Each structure stands twice: as C-alpha cells, then as structure tokens.
Structure 1
Amino acid sequence: MVRATTPGVRLLPNAITVLALCSGLSAVQFALNRQFLLAIGAIGVAAILDSLDGRIARLLDATSKMGAELDSLSDAISFGVAPALVLYVWQWDAERIGWVAALIFAVCIVLRLARFNTFLDVEKPPYANEFFVGVPAPAGGLLALLPLILEQEFHQGWWSEPVVVWIWTVAIAALLISRIPTLSLKSVKVPPRIVAPLLVGVGLLAAAIIQYPLIALAAALLLYLAHIPYSVRRYYWLAKHPEAWDVPPRERRAIRRARRGRARRLGLRPPRLQQVAGAARRAVRLPRNGNSDSLGRGYGPGTDGQGQRKRSWRRIGLRQRGGDK
C-alpha cells in the first residue's frame, strides 16, 4: 500500500497542475499559428486537468499550500491569459480596442481567483458551499471562446463580428467578478436510483463529443449559462430556509412541496404590489361611528358588515377562513 506521505504521491497533483498550465500556454502557440481548433482543444484539456488535480490531492491526502498557489497561477494563465490572447490573435490582431477587451478579461480572471482564495478562510453557512461566487475560471475561459467555437463549426456569422465578440468578452469578464451564485459540481450528490441512467447519459455525451466535439462543447456552454437563473433561485431559497441546509435533496423537495401546499390551503395568493398598500388600509380602517366589532368603513346599524368584510379581504387578495366562509 502506498502511503500518502511519500514524495511521489504528493507530487502527482502538482504534476497535473503543471500539465494544465502547459496545455493553456500551448493554446497561445496554436493561435499564433492560426490553428484555432487546436487552441480550443488545448484550453479544454486544461479545464479537464484542472478539475482533476484538486480531487486527486484530496483523495490522496496530498493537499499543500504550494499546490493551492500553483493551481491559482495555472488557472490565471490557462483560463485568463490564454483565452484573451487567442481571441486577440483571432479577431483583433493589431487593434487597440481588441487589446482593451483582452486586458479586461485577463484582469477579471485574476481578480476572481484572488477573491476565491480570500474566501477559503471565511466561515460560510452550510448551503453556501454548494455554490461559487460568480462564474468559475475554467467555465469563464471556455465561455469567452464560444464565438470562436461557433465560427469554427458554422463559419462566419453575426457571432464572429468584432463588435459582438468584444461585447461578449467583456460580458463574460463581468460574470467572472460578479456575485451571482452558480452551482458547484463538487457538491452535487447523485441518488442511487439514477446512477444507471446517468451512466447511459455519460456514454451518449462521450459519443456526441467524439462525433460532434464543437457542437457538444457549445451546447454544454449554453446549458451552463441557462442554469444561472435556477442557481440564483435555489441560493436565495436555501438562504430563507435553514431547515433545508443539512438534509438530502429528496427532503428539500418535500419541504418545498409542503410549503406550497400550506400556502394553497390558506388561500393565499401574491397580491398586486401597486394596489396592496391602499387596499390594505381601506380594509382594516376602523369605523368612525365607534363600532369596534366591525372591520371596514361604514359599518353600523343596517349595514351588511359580513359582506363588506369579505369584499374588503378580497381586494387585497386574501380569503378568510372560519366564520367568514
């Protein structure tokens, strides 16, 4: 049995990180030779290696401070500098405005990684470990290359216009340093009952990547962008429901269904924001004739207070229970 403290085992995660760094730098060399398909592939390989080095280090109990610093440096070059230079060579060669976009993207990647490192020692609620703050560096580096991927697969179009590529690059840079929560695959737990269908899906994905690599990569990137609204909604739902922080996904779904069912049983519905304030004041205003047993306006002898009360509650979108039925 190999001990985790042996030098060879401790060297393995750092060696994978160095390979990812070399792959990212090779993308620049491919771009200078106008081999953009190889440049995309090199950054994709760097992303795969980057996802492996940390997991292998934790699995072998070979984590170290040097490995963490090396990983951040590798990410900055492979997913910040390399994609920026690839896009510059492809679209904005010798154009000042293009160099500005490349600088913005590279700087945002470095800022994103610096913020990530500072958050490692900050105490966070349990649910926050399921999310990244902003788009992670590997996803950001590949998303920046999406116009180039589409151009390689479908040839030139509106997606390859210099202005569109410039705006897209700056927009992805903004997502990198934003505080938008995005799902972390490290915390995803797969229920045992869907393991077999998931393996079938992995096989189909591998076949799609082999046959249509660029289309599969573009589809994966678009799907990643589409998940962001769901991630934001899930993040804020968990923040408001501490009872769901440490329970499995099935129990979380049960909590969500129970709360929805309780809201239906109470007969509640979201009121119109522009009308609720005035309607509420009208509904709960006390009568001027001193009749404190009535709710609303104009209740007195000969007035149908029951019907007025029902109509007042309906105006703010509520339905009373009990004696008002």
Structure 2
Amino acid sequence: MSRATAGVRLLPNAITVLALCAGLSAVQFALTGDYLLSIGAIGIAAILDSLDGRIARLLDASSKMGAELDSLSDAISFGVAPALVLYVWMPGDDRFGWLVTLIFAVCMVLRLARFNTLLDEDQPPFAGEFFVGVPAPAGGLVALLPVMLTLQFGEGWWSSQVVVVVWTIATAALLISRIPTLSLKKLNAPAKAVAPLLVGVGLLAAAVIQYPLISLATALVLYLAHIPYAVRRYQWLAAHPEAWGVPGHERRAIRRSSRGRRLGLRKPRLRRVAGAARRAVQRGDTDPSAGGGHVSRVYPPADTTSRPTTRKRDWRRIGLRQRGR
C-alpha cells in the first residue's frame, strides 16, 4: 500500500516536471530559430499545467511540495521561456527588447506570488469561478501572439518593434491586474450539451492539426474578448448574494426577475385596454383638452336591477330568442 500511495503522489509532480521541461525546451527551439516548435512546447506546457492540479485532486495527492513546484514551473514555463523567445525573435534594439522581456517576466512572477497569497485569504463563494487577472498559461501564450501572426502571414504591422513592445507590456499589465477572468475549472456542462461539446472538441482538434497557428491565435483572441463578459458577470454576482452556490437555471431565473424589478414594469391587460380604445373610437368620443372637436360623453353606470332586460339583450346578441316563462 505504501508503494502505491507513493506512486500516486508522484504522478502529479511528474506531470509538473514535464511541463517545466517543455517550457525550457521552448527556449532551446528559439535559439535554433525554430519558433513554431517553441510555441508548440509552451502550448504543451499549458496543457500539462492544467492537468497536474486536477489529477492531484482526483487522486487525493495534493501536497505543499506539489503546490510550490507548480508555481516554480509556471514561472519558468510561462514567464521566463516566453520572455526569452520574444527577446530572441524581437526585431530592433537588443537592449530595449531585453528591458521589455524583463518587465514581462517580473510581472509573471508577481502574478503567481499573488495567486498563492489569495489561496490563504477568505473569498466569497463565487470567487472560485474567476481568476484575478489573466492566468499564467494564457498570459504566456498571449504574449507570443505577434510571433504567431508573423509565422503565419509574414511580416507586417504586427511584427514591428513598437507594436511588439506595447503588446508585451499590455499583456504584463493584464497579468498583475485585478480584472476578473473566467476559470474553466468551475464550468459545468449540462447533460444535453455533452454530445455537441464532444463534436466541438473533435473539430477543434482537426483545426489545430491542419491550421495550428491560426487556430491558436483565434482561441487567444476569443479569450481576450471574453474579459468584458467576465467583469460584468463578476459584478452581477457580487451584487446578488442569493445567486451564490445555486445551479445555473436558478441563476437565470434570478437574473430575469432582477431585470423586471429594475425596469419597474407591470404586465399590461392588453385585451381590456385595446377593447376600450376601440369602442371609444367607434363612438367618436375625444377629449376636448387634446384638441378634438367632440365632447367626451359621460355614460351613466349600468343598472344592476334590470336583470331581465340585460338577459334579453344577451340572448339577442347570440341570435336566439328567449322562451317565454
């Protein structure tokens, strides 16, 4: 039993070490000029990084050593490795490019340090659905987006030094920002959506095999485009504590009810209002204050004592004649 337990605890850490090796291999590929393999190695490191934590939780093999090893691996694979790849690839002044890559690597390390400190703080229940800032794997790949575009479409405005510097600094700012981004770890798919999602995964795999750079660049652009939605979702959850910890369909019901209360609308009685307006138009009754030529008529209330007359009138309306008693 002890050997099995030791093997189970070794598996997540082994995956983390593999992610570290993939990140360092990206630097070696960049030094030899093979930037496509550099991007692929960092992408493999991101996939392995998303697996080690889940496997550790599934096998109940989480440990402090694994958490520290994961942070160090992320710092190298998604901070140091993309920075060095950008430095080797970036055109223009080497000294200025080195300064920019240092800024990116430092911001990545600060982002990981803040992530570790947030684990020990008390957070609201819905905070587990979000990351604070852009996570490390996504930030490392987003920084390499100009390299992907250059490899796919050739040199252009996206490969100029000014654009690359601004893009790298903006990505570093997203890493250390407090902008909420969605966490895929807490997303649950309903049973009806399992089959379409599997089909989508198959199509995505085919697209990555046939068009790897275009597929990865499109996925990164879509990821950046979801940030406004994540901010709005976070603000809504913070303002509605009753929606914390409830299923998705209940959250949608709360959202619909909150929209109705915010607008202050009441369901109108369309038939009664439309019928009254139609009868008023047929009688030619208008309001003199509205500029009409007719005077509004005041009709006396119906006499409730004349029930036989009302009953005869009802019989005539449907084309029948009441029998005499």
Q: Normalization by structure 2: what TM-score?
A: 0.80
Distance in 2 separating the partners of 1:93 and 1:263: 55
- Residue 79 (structure 2) aligns with: 80
- Residue 64 (structure 1) aligns with: 63
Alignment of 1:246-257 (within 5 A): 246-257=245-256
Shifted more, 194-203 versus 258-267: the winner is 258-267
Q: C-alpha deviations, 1:42-67, integer Å up to 9, x for none?
A: 00000000000000011111111000
Q: C-alpha deviations, 1:152-211, integer Å up to 9, x for none?
A: 111111111111001000000000000000000001011111111111111111111111
Larger Rg, first or second structure (1 or 2): 2
What letter is aligned with 2:250?
E
- Residue 226 (structure 1) aligns with: 225
- Residue 259 (structure 1) aligns with: 258
**How much has 1:84 moved relative to structure 2?**
0.3
- Residue 158 (structure 2) aligns with: 159
**How much has 1:72 moved relative to structure 2?**
0.3
Does the 8 Å contact 2:26/2:81 carry over to 1?
yes
Does the 8 Å contact 1:43/1:78 carry over to 2?
yes
Distance 1:152-1:130 versus aligned 2 partners, 3 A rule: same
**How much has 1:6 moved relative to structure 2?**
1.4
Distance in 1 separating the partners of 2:133 and 2:79: 15
- Residue 52 (structure 2) aligns with: 53
What letter is aligned with 1:131?
F
**How much has 1:4 moved relative to structure 2?**
9.5
Distance in 2 separating the partners of 1:218 and 1:248: 33
Q: C-alpha deviations, 1:124-172, integer Å up to 9, x for none?
A: 1001110000000000000000000111111111111111001000000
Counterpart of 1:182 in 2: which secondary structure? strand
What letter is aligned with 2:29?
F
Does the 8 Å contact 2:150/2:156 carry over to 1?
yes
Alignment of 1:235-246 (within 5 A): 235-246=234-245
What letter is aligned with 1:209?
V
Does the 8 Å contact 1:17/1:53 carry over to 2?
yes
Counterpart of 1:124 in 2: which secondary structure? coil
Does the 8 Å contact 2:92/2:161 carry over to 1?
no
- Is 2:6 the partner of 1:7? yes
Alignment of 1:201-216 (within 5 A): 201-216=200-215
**How much has 1:262 moved relative to structure 2?**
2.9
Runs of 4 or more consecutive aligned structure 1 residues displaced over 2 Å after TM superposition: 2-5, 261-267
Distance in 1 separating the partners of 2:129 and 2:115: 14
Distance in 1 separating the partners of 2:73 and 2:92: 25
What letter is aligned with 1:26?
S
Does the 8 Å contact 1:4/1:60 carry over to 2?
no
Does the 8 Å contact 2:27/2:85 carry over to 1?
yes
Does the 8 Å contact 1:4/1:62 carry over to 2?
no
Q: C-alpha deviations, 1:101-134, integer Å up to 9, x for none?
A: 1000000000000000001111110011100000
Identity, % of aligned pairs? Answer: 75
Segments of structure 1 that go 5 or more residues without pairing to the other structure are: 268-325
- Residue 135 (structure 1) aligns with: 134
Shifted more, 84-93 versus 138-147: the winner is 84-93
- Residue 285 (structure 2) aligns with: none
- Residue 199 (structure 2) aligns with: 200
Distance in 1 separating the partners of 2:179 and 2:247: 24
Distance in 1 separating the partners of 2:231 and 2:115: 18
**How much has 1:264 moved relative to structure 2?**
3.6
Q: Normalization by structure 1: what TM-score?
A: 0.80
Distance in 2 separating the partners of 1:102 and 1:216: 25
**How much has 1:235 moved relative to structure 2?**
0.1
Shifted more, 255-264 versus 197-206: the winner is 255-264
Segments of structure 2 that go 5 or more residues without pairing to the other structure are: 267-325
Q: CA RMSD in A?
A: 1.4
Distance in 2 separating the partners of 1:129 and 1:122: 12
What letter is aligned with 1:57?
A
- Residue 40 (structure 1) aligns with: 39
Distance in 1 separating the partners of 2:99 and 2:161: 13
Counterpart of 1:123 in 2: which secondary structure? coil
- Residue 316 (structure 2) aligns with: none
Distance 1:231-1:32 versus aligned 2 partners, 3 A rule: same
Distance in 1 separating the partners of 2:61 and 2:4: 7
**How much has 1:229 moved relative to structure 2?**
0.1
Counterpart of 2:131 in 1: which secondary structure? strand
Distance in 2 separating the partners of 1:4 and 1:210: 39
Does the 8 Å contact 1:26/1:39 carry over to 2?
yes
Distance in 2 separating the partners of 1:124 and 1:260: 27
**How much has 1:246 moved relative to structure 2?**
1.1
Does the 8 Å contact 1:4/1:10 carry over to 2?
no
Counterpart of 2:235 in 1: which secondary structure? helix
